[in-house]
Amino acid sequence: MNPQVFNTPVDYLKGVGTARAEVLKKELGIFTYQDLLRHFPYKYIDRTRFYKIRDMDPELPHVQVIARLMRKEILGEKHTKRLIIQAQDDTGAMELAWFQGIKWAEKSLVIGKAYIIFGKPGMFNGKAQMAHPEMEPYSAEALKRMGNLTLQPGYNSTEKLRSFSLDSKGLQKLVAILLDQHVRDIPENLPLYILQKFKLMGRADAYRQIHFPQDATMLHEAQRRLKFEELFLIQMRLLKSKLLRTQKFKGNVFGTVGELFTTFYNELIPFPLTNAQKRVLKEIRIDTQRGVQMNRLLQGDVGSGKTVVALMCMLLAIDNGFQACIMAPTEILANQHYLSIKGLVGDDFVQVGLLTGSTKKKDRKVLHENLENGKLKILIGTHALIEDAVQYQNLGFVVIDEQHRFGVEQRSKLWRKAAVPPHVLVMTATPIPRTLAMTLYGDLDVSVIDELPAGRKPIETIHYYESQRLQMFGFIRREIALGRQVYVVYPLIQESEKLDLKNLMDGFEVISHEFPLPQYKVSVVHGKMPAADKDIEMQRFLKGETQIMVATTVIEVGVNVPNASVMIIENAERFGLSQLHQLRGRVGRGAEQSYCLLMSGQKLSREGRIRLDTMVRTNNGFEISEIDLQLRGPGNIEGTQQSGVLDLKLADLATDQELLLQARKCVEDIFARDPQLALPEHQVLHQASTTKSGGLTWDKIS
């Protein structure tokens, strides 16, 4: 047993050598034995059956034939240069063609010899042809090897690698050599009892089976084992860093529920809390009593009532002698938070301040003073409130709204605002699937408000085709006659900003033309407008001076106009699901029935149709985010792009949710029972997390 073996440079493997090692590094990032072992097949091909040349049909997938090479010639010059080899079996003849790697193929393939030829049948000038087939000299032994493999691994390769004979076949040979020599050196890195509990294949077996599966069942088991391991190791890392953080940072203790909280709850709050809101408050209550710094992500759909939860947490902090702040990504949002908090607590209950980029110098000075002397209890603002000049007397609780815009850097800046880092609550209205949250924010605790306040009428969503535009106009008229307001939103795609702006302006023209009467006033807002103009237009709409707001997606984030009852989304098929859902969340904020009209062209892609159907079917942001994940894969979900965490080789967060939940639970249990990983059965993990080589670090993941 020698796990170090796997850090051996790939140069040392029999059949590699310096030149090939160089291209393996350059082209595939394969530096060591373990890198090679972790270059997993991307497909498996059934090679149990042999075809005859007579049966070559371009409709067939990759097939194999046994044929003799009869004649070869090099045709054309430079760019048209190609090697053509005639091959023949007892049923007919076909052409094998090489457009690249000609020199190598010409040299190594022997006329008169029989080969096992594997490739995709094609047709050229009425003749059966195969381009760049894999060639294996025919022998009884080779045939037996093929026959024993029901599923042949297919490996990604490149032109460059192929010129070094490292096509899929060549890579397969290297992996075979490596496994033959060292499969027994592959150390198990999961505790035995976990293998037993989840009926997981041993690690060495799994590596062999994933490269050279005995049959489909074994392949599946090998994949399951290695996926589990991948997810398990990520969770180990995340939960370990959480553990370390909680050990390192003390947290403020909010020991008492005091005057402000109680009074607010008993006298001021204008509605009963939903069960979900109560649950989240309880979670935070528990967190803030433990003497450990809280880092919690609060997810909840637009309108689910996150603000009041945040407010009550802040009151709790103040009751315990601390200050609190809310940081919002834009001034508009900071303003809105300020107004809604003021709306909830009134003027005299607790001192609340607003600090943004446009706060006057004079006011700023007063704010700073009152923050430092502790009079000001709640500060709401933009980035401005983490500027160095802003000093708190005793900051104990921080709310961050919309986490996507705040990096870790900014968060840590906040931590340094007090001797003991404040508790942090990150709120987001972009629900992400549980599995993603667990992987992306695995070191945060996650709370979810999955329930809307009672009495809220679900937004009704209708999909209209272009041909039904008149119905849409009718809709607008009817709602405006009822005193309501309407959004019309156009997509904005970076690459064609000009075209988008034109679409928007055309739309504005059409609307203005369609609604010429004085009772219809139309606002327009887009990203190219000066901020001041944008603000004026927004304000006009907010005050009800205009009835229709034609806009690009700049209105997406956070704008609250309760009287707006219709959201019309033009070219809805061009929006992603999460964006559609965010836009829809702009309406349905008052007591009246609200609508979302999705306008699309007649022709829709399959995905486009699924997106629109999903929107029509459900208002549930979590359900929508799950479907988004299925459609687009984890890498494309908003906010995940820069996260190395999602660099999974085998597991798929969309389809392997069950496995992830199992792995997560497993790791939680381990740390709960044995945080030092000191038990004998955890030895294998302990080593892994403390030493640089061997054990877990055998893998790059750890």
Of 308 and 629, nearer to ligand ADP (C-beta) is 308
Residue that the structure tokens 């972009």 belong to = 430
Pairing of strands 323-327, 378-381: parallel
Residue 429 interacting with ligand ADP (CB under 6 A): yes
Residue 371 interacting with ligand ADP (CB under 6 A): no
Question: CB of 269: closest distance to ligand ADP in angstroms?
Answer: 8
Q: Are 622 and 436 in contact (CB under 8 A)?
A: no
Of 455 and 680, nearer to ligand ADP (C-beta) is 455
Query: Which of 273, 554, 648, 661 touches ligand ADP (CB under 6 A)?
Result: 273
- From the list 10-18, 219-227, 273-281, 617-625, the region that binds ligand ADP by CB under 6 A is 273-281
Q: Enumerate residues 6+ apart whose C-beta is below 8 A from 360.
A: none
Residue 308 interacting with ligand ADP (CB under 6 A): yes
Strands (E), 372-411: 378-381, 395-401
Which sign does the torsion angle of CA 8, 10, 14, 18 carry?
negative
- Rounding to the nearest 10 degrees, give the CA dihedral for residues 621, 627, 633, 639: -10
- From the list 47-55, 306-314, 364-372, 658-666, the region that binds ligand ADP by CB under 6 A is 306-314
Of 129 and 330, nearer to ligand ADP (C-beta) is 330
Question: CB of 429: closest distance to ligand ADP in angstroms?
Answer: 5
Alpha carbon 375 to chain centroid distance? 42
Of 341 and 569, nearer to ligand ADP (C-beta) is 341
Q: Are 559 and 534 in contact (CB under 8 A)?
A: no
- Euclidean distance between CA atoms 547 and 563, whole angstroms: 10
Question: CB of 298: closest distance to ligand ADP in angstroms?
Answer: 9
- From the list 270-278, 382-390, 616-624, 664-672, the region that binds ligand ADP by CB under 6 A is 270-278
Residue 209 interacting with ligand ADP (CB under 6 A): no
Instruction: With H, G, I as helix, E, B as strand and everything else as coil, classify residue 385.
Output: helix
Of 277 and 571, nearer to ligand ADP (C-beta) is 277
Which sign does the torsion angle of CA 405, 596, 456, 541 carry?
positive
Residue 274 interacting with ligand ADP (CB under 6 A): yes
- 613, exposed or middle or buried, with CB in 10 Å at 0-12, 13-18, 19+? middle
Question: CB of 211: closest distance to ligand ADP in angstroms?
Answer: 49
Question: CB of 586: closest distance to ligand ADP in angstroms?
Answer: 11
- Structure token pair of residue 206: 């799994």
Question: CB of 357: closest distance to ligand ADP in angstroms?
Answer: 22
Of 338 and 490, nearer to ligand ADP (C-beta) is 338
Question: CB of 562: closest distance to ligand ADP in angstroms?
Answer: 8
Question: CB of 249: closest distance to ligand ADP in angstroms?
Answer: 28
Return the residue nearest ligand ADP (CB atom): 305
Question: CB of 277: closest distance to ligand ADP in angstroms?
Answer: 6
Q: Enumerate residues 6+ apart whose C-beta is below 8 A from 437.
A: 297, 299, 446
Q: Are 274 and 303 in contact (CB under 8 A)?
A: no
Residue 305 interacting with ligand ADP (CB under 6 A): yes
- Rounding to the nearest 10 degrees, give the CA dihedral for residues 606, 609, 615, 618: -70
Instruction: Write out the DSSP string of 675-701.
Output: TT--SGGGHHHHHHHH-SSSGGGGSTT
- Structure token pair of residue 443: 């070191």
Element (H, E) at 306: helix 306-319
Alpha carbon 539 to chain centroid distance? 35
- From the list 84-92, 136-144, 296-304, 353-361, the region that binds ligand ADP by CB under 6 A is 296-304
Pairing of strands 423-428, 395-401: parallel
Dihedral-angle region of residue 125 (phi above 0 means left; psi in -120 to 50 means alpha; beta otherwise): left
Query: Which of 189, 304, 330, 439 touches ligand ADP (CB under 6 A)?
Result: 304
Question: CB of 544: closest distance to ligand ADP in angstroms?
Answer: 17
Phi first, then psi: what are they for 278, rounded to 5°?
-60, -40
Residue 453 interacting with ligand ADP (CB under 6 A): yes
Cα angle 487, 490, 496 (rounded to 5 degrees) comes to: 160
Number of amino acids touching ligand ADP (CB under 6 A): 14
Of 274 and 335, nearer to ligand ADP (C-beta) is 274
Question: CB of 634: closest distance to ligand ADP in angstroms?
Answer: 25
Of 237 and 337, nearer to ligand ADP (C-beta) is 337
Question: CB of 628: closest distance to ligand ADP in angstroms?
Answer: 19
Alpha-helical regions (H) of 543-620: 577-584, 606-617
Query: Which of 306, 484, 581, 584 touches ligand ADP (CB under 6 A)?
Result: 306
Of 153 and 303, nearer to ligand ADP (C-beta) is 303
Of 305 and 431, nearer to ligand ADP (C-beta) is 305
Of 304 and 697, nearer to ligand ADP (C-beta) is 304
Residue that the structure tokens 């150390």 belong to = 187
Residue 307 interacting with ligand ADP (CB under 6 A): yes
Residue 271 interacting with ligand ADP (CB under 6 A): yes
Residue that the structure tokens 């007919």 belong to = 92
Nearest to 299 by CA among 442, 434, 403, 449: 449
Residue 559 interacting with ligand ADP (CB under 6 A): no
Query: Which of 85, 105, 179, 302 touches ligand ADP (CB under 6 A)?
Result: 302
Phi first, then psi: what are they for 657, rounded to 5°?
-60, -45
Between the CA of residue 195 and those of 189, 191, 203, 634, what are the distances in Å?
10, 7, 10, 27
* One-letter amino acid of 177: I
Query: Which of 251, 303, 422, 695 touches ligand ADP (CB under 6 A)?
Result: 303
- From the list 186-194, 269-277, 471-479, 503-511, the region that binds ligand ADP by CB under 6 A is 269-277
Residue 337 interacting with ligand ADP (CB under 6 A): no
Of 167 and 401, nearer to ligand ADP (C-beta) is 401
Which residues form the interface with ligand ADP (CB under 6 A)? 271, 273-274, 277, 300, 302-308, 429, 453
